[in-house]
């Protein structure tokens, strides 16, 4: 469980604050907010640390007390831009997910290979193992990014606009995949998105950034579209 209390999100200026919030395993949280209100900043602060005036606790230990290496085994941030290298095959790219456990020069163990194969099969990527990441379609790259995050085996997954640039059927497939992963593997999943209708279908709860109060609010997934819009984009 991730717990937040009296946290301030921002750099030189305050974007929003969190009075009290708990994120629990097995749930998908959709993070909504207008452009520039701090969605991506929140995800990157979680991944890298550096909250202002904060109490952030993961599994009863303050988040800042974890080393960088320890955090890479606890949390993965999946950006909306594919982070693959064109000179890598798909399998080589997926194997980077085991880096926190092998280091720069560590070879893959039998267990590492089994983990790579398990999640590759789950996301239908095995037939692409020898393909260059440069040749993958947008949907295949998105699946590869998700698989690499799962191969890293962290209990927390953060997605920044995971369905950007995808056609609608592929968007639905990706969101269904993320929801299934959260439930099957008991992950905490946070998805920053502008696609309210799509995320509403596949999320358990919503995180809304109120730009007037400069607060992050937690609501259930029964909150209506007009209610969400009225909070994140008041007129």
Q: What is the set of domains in the chain, with CATH numbers?
A: 25-49+67-204+219-232 (3.40.50.300)
pTM for this entry: 0.88
What whole-number distance in Å separates Cα of residue 51 and Cα of residue 153?
Answer: 24
pLDDT of residue 52: 65
> In terms of Cα–Cα distance, which of 205, 136, 142 is closest to 175?
142
Backbone angles phi, psi at 136, to 5 degrees: -75, 145
What whole-number distance in Å separates Cα of residue 165 and Cα of residue 48?
Answer: 26
pLDDT of residue 105: 65
> In terms of Cα–Cα distance, which of 190, 163, 214, 229 is closest to 22?
190
What whole-number distance in Å separates Cα of residue 157 and Cα of residue 86?
Answer: 24
22: helix, coil or strand? strand
pLDDT of residue 233: 81
pLDDT tens across the length of the chain (235 residues): 889 988 888 877 888 999 999 999 999 999 999 888 889 989 988 887 767 666 788 888 888 888 888 888 899 998 877 766 778 999 999 999 998 888 666 688 999 999 999 999 988 899 999 999 999 988 888 889 888 988 998 999 999 998 887 888 888 888 998 899 899 989 999 999 989 889 889 999 999 999 999 999 999 877 888 888 888 887 6
For residue 220, what are the β-bridge partners?
205
pLDDT of residue 8: 87
pLDDT of residue 162: 86
Return contacts of 177-181, CB within 8 angstroms, 24+ apart: 177/123, 177/143, 177/146, 178/28, 178/146, 178/202, 179/28, 179/203, 181/146, 181/150, 181/157
Cβ(44)–Cβ(15) below 8 Å: no
Q: Are strands 215-220 and 55-58 parallel, antiparallel or unpaired?
A: unpaired
């Amino acid at each position: 469980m991730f717990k937040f209390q009296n946290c301030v999100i921002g750099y030189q200026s305050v974007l929003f604050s969190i009075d009290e919030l708990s994120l629990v395993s097995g749930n998908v949280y959709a993070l909504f907010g207008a452009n520039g209100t701090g969605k991506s900043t929140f995800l990157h602060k979680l991944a890298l640390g550096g909250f202002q005036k904060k109490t952030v606790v993961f599994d009863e230990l303050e988040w800042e007390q974890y080393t960088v290496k320890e955090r890479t085994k606890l949390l993965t941030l999946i950006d909306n831009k594919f982070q693959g290298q064109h000179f890598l095959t798909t399998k080589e790219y997926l194997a980077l997910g085991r880096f926190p456990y092998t280091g720069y020069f560590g070879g893959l163990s039998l267990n590492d290979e089994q983990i790579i194969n398990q999640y590759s099969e789950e996301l239908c990527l095995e037939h692409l193992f020898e393909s260059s990441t440069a040749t993958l379609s947008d949907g295949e790259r998105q699946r590869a990014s998700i698989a690499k995050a799962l191969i890293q085996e962290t209990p927390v997954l953060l997605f920044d606009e995971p369905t950007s640039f995808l056609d609608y059927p592929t968007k639905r497939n990706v969101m269904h995949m993320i929801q299934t992963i959260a439930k099957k593997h008991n992950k905490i999943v946070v998805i920053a998105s502008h696609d309210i209708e799509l995320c509403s279908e596949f999320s358990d709860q919503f995180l809304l950034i109120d730009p007037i109060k400069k607060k992050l609010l937690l609501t259930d997934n029964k909150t209506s579209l007009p209610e969400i819009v009225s909070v994140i984009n008041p007129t």
